[in-house]
């Protein structure tokens, strides 16, 4: 079954020293978050909630967990969300799923995960300034 993966740079905030959350740039600290995953709920669980994503739900798009990996070349953390898809998606379907994923990263599941991680001290968050910052790849 094919898959599609969306990726974007993630910022990490440190709440261990202050309630403000200082931006973390130290590679050593960022590396400790490699492999961090939030899988308590799948992004696809909420596809039925939106008019634009109803077609994706009907198509059978499934999965979608939030995973962070340290990218040594970039020196930072990258967020990934990967879905199972029944076939390769069209350009407009990819765009719709990308917008949906960006929304989940910033306002939905990703925001909830960020708030949970604040209590642990280091909280990664995907902050998208524009949709060109998101990379997508379909695999067969």
10-residue mean pLDDT series, the chain (140 residues)? 96 94 96 95 94 94 97 95 98 96 92 93 90 91
Is the entire prediction scored with pTM above 0.85?
Answer: yes
β-pair partners for 80: 7, 67
Say what the pLDDT of residue 97 is: 97
Say what the pLDDT of residue 50 is: 86
Question: Whose structure tokens read 């990379």?
Answer: 135
DSSP structural state of residue 32 = T
Say what the pLDDT of residue 128 is: 85
In the chain, domain spans: 3-139
Sequence-separated (6 or more) residues with CB below 8 Å from residue 8? 78, 79, 102, 105, 126, 128, 133, 134, 135
């Amino acid at each position: 079954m094919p898959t599609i993966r969306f990726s974007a740079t993630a910022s990490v905030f440190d709440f261990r020293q202050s309630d403000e959350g200082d931006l973390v740039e130290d590679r050593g600290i960022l590396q400790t978050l490699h492999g961090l995953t939030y899988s308590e709920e799948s992004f696809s669980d909420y596809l039925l909630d939106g008019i634009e994503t109803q077609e994706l739900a009907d198509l059978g798009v499934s999965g979608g967990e939030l995973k962070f990996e340290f990218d040594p070349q970039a020196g930072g953390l990258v967020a990934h969300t990967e879905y199972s898809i029944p076939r390769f998606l069209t350009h407009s379907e990819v765009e719709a799923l990308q917008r949906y994923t960006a929304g989940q990263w910033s306002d939905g599941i990703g925001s909830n995960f960020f708030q949970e991680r604040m209590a642990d001290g280091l909280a990664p968050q995907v902050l998208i300034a524009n949709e060109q910052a998101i990379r997508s790849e379909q695999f067969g």
